[in-house]
Structure 1
């Protein structure tokens, strides 16, 4: 059987070692002769699990003590609404820096709850690239500034931190979380759906500075209120216990692999391999400027819709799954998150070379 590599943008690959451990423990977790899904989320063993999970996550990112880590539900879309409900203050408005589909979607949702000013980060031109990122002159006018460091659909990543002075910077890191080292102290809040680099869909991580908690508007539902969740260990209702458990295994796995320094290097190596091939090909095209090329989501096209469809179908026959681009953009997309081994990228390039020779 051909080895299968899953390039899905999410739900995405989970490390094989993690899945094997979960499989081994499925019927007998911690000697309880039950699965982790069947034990009380408030029982001693599960409470120990979530405490260790947070400790491991904090270690990976070196999270300062004045930040809370919440394990919530509702995905990033839920946070699109929760953020203005919790962070809107006396200024009554927020600045949303847009660079693609998901940052635009976040801004649209926030408008239901507050006044939003929107600023496009992308410059007009043949390539997708960001322009000026210094907003320190206008940021004091806003309660917070929101942006998306990695646009999953278009493959645009923003490596430089927007300058916003003392205004809280909020980042949707759903598709770049734990892919590279960052300075958490530069952010007011970071949030991410789990289904790219953290674990399975169903759980969402929020890292938030403590001084930003406790300011929710009165009508904020309890499940979206950061203060309520922080006081309840993220468990005002029954949490997605199996997803939380799998995330805890992923954190331990990443630590065992050398932490984010080692993971970042692997991600850079994988991305370089694929982008170098694209740059040397006249058959495939990537329209993202080099300074903004995502380490996680590599988009490309032949420029011909019929050829693109043939590529996707034949790739699947060769064990290369989920290479179809998002319906918003089309073409192809290879999502090479943390769990994708470099062998998967090598297999993709081998197929791309073969397909190019057959169709030139």
Structure 2
């Protein structure tokens, strides 16, 4: 009998689907009879090009990415994109940012290096500050930036804001990318690091509308110029080949995934809804734990919570680890606990956490 792996609730790099890990292990020394590991392949060779093309096609299908969007496989992570986006889109002008938590605050600070940044709305880290039609948006801004899921704070836009003044919307969707559909009619550019729902750290995905290409500042490095990357099919410089390969396997896994009579991304979204509901219901019913995010914008992916007695924190983490529940410590900037329940976290993992929460409360509450 195979040994049950622990349930890993890390915020990223995060848990990966076990079938994907098994396939990676099986193909490690010899991919497809090539005699090479993917890590040893030329990124311009026919073997890797076939991997890349399949991954791009599967991702476009899964997210129903329109033909007028280019998919770029880049490096630098979400923090890197905080600089790369204004280098490409700001034109040295104005950028509006809605601050809903730690990551959008970082985005605003980084964009100020290249543009006139205005914070158009600011939440408490526990809420989304109104709808876009109440924000102080500028009609001459180059773009509006939002982080649609705040990994640290656990705040999620369940519906993308509608920007009615014609200014493109840029979304940092790192920690919920591929967990639900994207309404592309509201988006000019989307980006996300892969190390949450998609694959290992090192790969960053960028989806950019054609009309936003070709406006990079002169100081933008060539390898970060979206038009250069798009014109070279993400091969202007050596891309993160192994991470692209693993991501491609995850795309195939999501396409085949079934749940509640659904398949693919629809099935994944429904399971994510059910996992989050199970965990939030337990936290809300507790007298020991609390989640401080307003109910209408709670993240399905990242669930921060606090013990009402901080003296129990270390005991909680030690007992959770002994129970096979890993990486539950909250981000150092906010403290407490955090359970990241990305696509690869099975419902059984959330149920195991819920059982432990109840048992721990019975002993220590």
TM class, shorter-length: over 0.9
Structure 1 gaps, min length 5: none
- The residue that corresponds to 1:320 in the other structure is 325
Which digits, 9 at most, give the CA deviation of each residue in 1:281-314, with x for residues without a partner? 1111011111011000011111222212211111
Asked whether the equivalents of residues 121 and 136 of structure 2 are also in contact (C-alpha less than 8 Å), the reply is no
Give the alignment's TM-score, normalised by structure 2.
Answer: 0.95
Helix, strand or coil at the partner of 2:171:
strand
Q: Does 1:132 align with 2:131?
A: yes
Q: Deviations over 1:157-176 (max 9, x none)?
A: 11132232211000000001
SS of alignment partner, residue 196 of structure 1:
coil
Residue 270 (structure 2) pairs with residue 265 (structure 1): yes
For residue 301 of structure 1, give the secondary structure of its aligned residue in structure 2. strand
Residue 74 of structure 2 is aligned with which of 59, 72, 75? 72
For the residues of structure 1 that align with 2:146 and 2:113, how far apart are their CA atoms?
18
Task: Give runs of aligned pairs for residues 12-161 of structure 1, distance below 5 A.
Answer: 12-89=14-91, 92-122=93-123, 128-134=127-133, 138-161=137-160
Instruction: State which of 288, 301, 304 in structure 2 corresponds to 1:296.
Output: 301
Residue 32 of structure 1 deviates from its aligned partner by 1.1
Contact 1:135 1:162 in 2 (8 A): no
Q: 1:65/1:2 Cα in 2 relative to 1: closer, same or farther (>3 Å)?
A: closer
Alignment of 1:189 onto 2:189: yes
Deviation at 1:123, TM superposition (A): 5.8
2:216 counterpart residue number: 216
Change beyond 3 A, Cα 1:179–1:266: same
Question: What stretches of structure 1 move > 6 A for 4+ residues in a row?
Answer: none
- What's 1:229 paired with? 229
Partner of 1:203: 203
Aligned-partner Cα distance in 2 for 1:306–1:193: 35
> Residue by residue, what CA displacement relative to the aligned partner does 1:127-155 show, whole Å, maximum 9, x if unpaired?
54532322587341211000001101111
- Could you tell me whether the CA contact under 8 Å between 1:129 and 1:288 is conserved in 2? no
Query: How many residues are aligned here?
Result: 357
Measure, in 2, the Cα distance between the counterparts of 1:183 and 1:210.
17
Map of 2:346 onto structure 1: 341
Q: Which residue of structure 2 aligns with residue 254 of structure 1?
A: 254
Partner of 2:260: none
State the distance in 2 between where 1:109 and 1:79 align.
10
Q: String of CA shifts for 1:175-231, please: whole Å, max 9, x gaps.
A: 010111121232000000000011000000000000000111122110110011111
CA RMSD of aligned residues (A): 1.5
* Contact kept in structure 2, 1:96 and 1:145, CA below 8 Å: yes
Whole-Å separation in 1 of the counterparts to 2:144 and 2:128:
20
The answer to whether the Cα contact below 8 Å between 1:151 and 1:175 also exists between their aligned partners in 2 is yes
Give unmatched runs, 5+ long, in structure 2.
258-262
Q: Whole-Å Cα distance in 1 between the matches of residues 127 and 332 of structure 2?
A: 18
